[in-house]
Amino acid sequence: MPALEHETSSAVTHAAVMLRETVELLRPRSGGRYVDGTLGGGGHAQAILEASGPHGELLGIDWDEEARARAAARLARFGARVHIVDAVFDQIGECLERFGWEAVDGILLDLGVSSFHLDLADRGFSFARSGPLDMRMSRSRARALSQWLDEVSEPELVRVLREYGEEPQARRIARAILAARRRGELADTAALAALVSRIAGRSAARHPATRTFQALRIAVNGELEILERFLADAYRWLRPGGRLVVLAYHSLEDRLVKSAFRLWERSCVCSRGIPVCRCGWAAKVTLLTRRAIRPSGSEVAENPRARSARLRAVERLAA
C-alpha cells in the first residue's frame, strides 16, 4: 500500500510514554536547567517546561530534522526558555558548552524512534507500509539501509539479527536478504517484509518481520554504540541532586543502562580479594529505581508502543 499518499507527516503524532512517572522522577523546578537528549515531538519536553515554570530552561537535542521542527512548533510558547539543537546525545558535553551550562538539574533520554518515524512510509522503518530501504533517524549522519546492506558481510548481518533482534532464523534470513539484494530483488520495505515473513516463524502476537526490522534499525543508526558512549560518564553533566532518567525499549539498551547505573552507584571498584581499597573510585549517584518501572496496563492498552518501556533513574551525589 503506498501509505504516504493520504498521510501527511504533521498528522502523525507521538504519545509521550510514562509521562507522569518520568516527570515525577525528574522533579523539575523553576530556575532549573534540563536536557531532553531525545526531543522527538516534544511531549516530555513540554511537560518538563510546564513543571519548571516560570523560569526553568530546557535544551532539547534531536538528530532528526523533522523531530526538531515538530518540537519547535509545539514548544514555541515557552519562548527563550527552550533551546533546540541538532546533535547526537553523546555530544551533550559540547552542547552544554555552547550554552555556557556546566552541569544541569536533569537529563532525560527516551530512546529509539518516534511514532511518526514508524508511521511515515518514506522513512523506511515500517514493515506495514512500502517505503525506501532507509531507516536513518539522522539523514545526514548514517548510511541508509540499502547502502548498509550492500556493504555488510553475511556473518555481521547474522550477528545483528541474532543479537539485536533475537531472531531465531537469523542465518537463513541473512542469507536470503543478501541473495535477494544481489539479484536486485530487494527494492523496498514491502519486499524485505515479504521475504522475511516467508522465512520467520509465524506468531500471533506480532508481524514476522518485527525482529528483523528492529535489528536493522538499531544497526543502521548505531544506537547501542551511542548509548554506550553516553553512559561512559554521563553523571558528570549533572549537578549534585541532578537526575538522569532513561526510558529504554530494548533489553540490550536496558541492560546497558542498568549496568552503568550500578557501576556509578558503587563506592569501590577494586577487584574482589583486595584487602584495602585502592581504586579511588567514589559513588557518583544514588539509584532512584532499584528495579525498572514498567508502564501501567491502562497506558499499554491506550498506547501499545509503550509495552516494552523500562524506566530507570539516578540522582547525582555531591562530589
Cβ-based nearer residue to ligand SAM, 25 or 113: 113
Residue 37 CA to residue 59 CA, distance in Å, equals 8
Alpha carbon 210 to chain centroid distance? 17
Of positions 28, 32, 34, 44, contacts ligand SAM by CB under 6 A: 44
Give the span between the Cα atoms of 137 and 218, in whole angstroms. Answer: 10
Q: Which three cell numbers stand for residue 63?
A: 538528530
Q: CB atoms < 10 A from the CB of 75, how many?
A: 21
Q: How many residues bind ligand SAM (CB under 6 A)?
A: 21
If you write DSSP's letter for every residue of 54-118 in order, what string do you get?
TT-EEEEE-S-HHHHHHHHHHHGGGGGGEEEE---GGGHHHHHHHTT---EEEEEEE-S--HHHH
Per CB under 6 A, does 62 bind ligand SAM? Answer: yes
Q: Is 67 in the site for ligand SAM (CB under 6 A)?
A: yes
Number of other CB atoms surrounding residue 154 within 10 Å:
13
Which grid coordinates are listed for 71? 518540537
Q: Which residue, 16 or 160, has its beta carbon nearer to ligand SAM?
A: 16
Only segment of 60-68, 92-100, 118-126, 268-276 that touches ligand SAM (CB under 6 A): 60-68
Residue closest to ligand SAM when measured from CB atoms: 40
CA separation for the pair 9, 319 (Å, rounded): 46
Using the rule CB under 6 A, give the single segment among 105-113, 147-155, 178-186, 201-209 that binds ligand SAM: 105-113
CA-nearest of 59, 56, 45, 134 to 94 is 59
Q: Is 120 in the site for ligand SAM (CB under 6 A)?
A: no
CB of 282 to ligand SAM, least distance (A): 29
* Of positions 112, 165, 242, 295, contacts ligand SAM by CB under 6 A: 112
Print the binding letters for residues 203-242 with ligand SAM: x by CB under 6 A, - otherwise.
Answer: -----------------------x----------------
CA distance linking residue 7 with residue 119, whole number of Å: 9
Instruction: Tell which positions 12-41 bind ligand SAM, by CB under 6 A.
Output: 14, 16, 38, 40-41
Please identify, among the stretches 50-58, 63-71, 260-268, 283-291, the one whose residues bind ligand SAM according to the rule CB under 6 A. Answer: 63-71
> Where does this chain bind ligand SAM (CB under 6 A)?
14, 16, 38, 40-44, 61-64, 67, 88-89, 110, 112-114, 137, 226
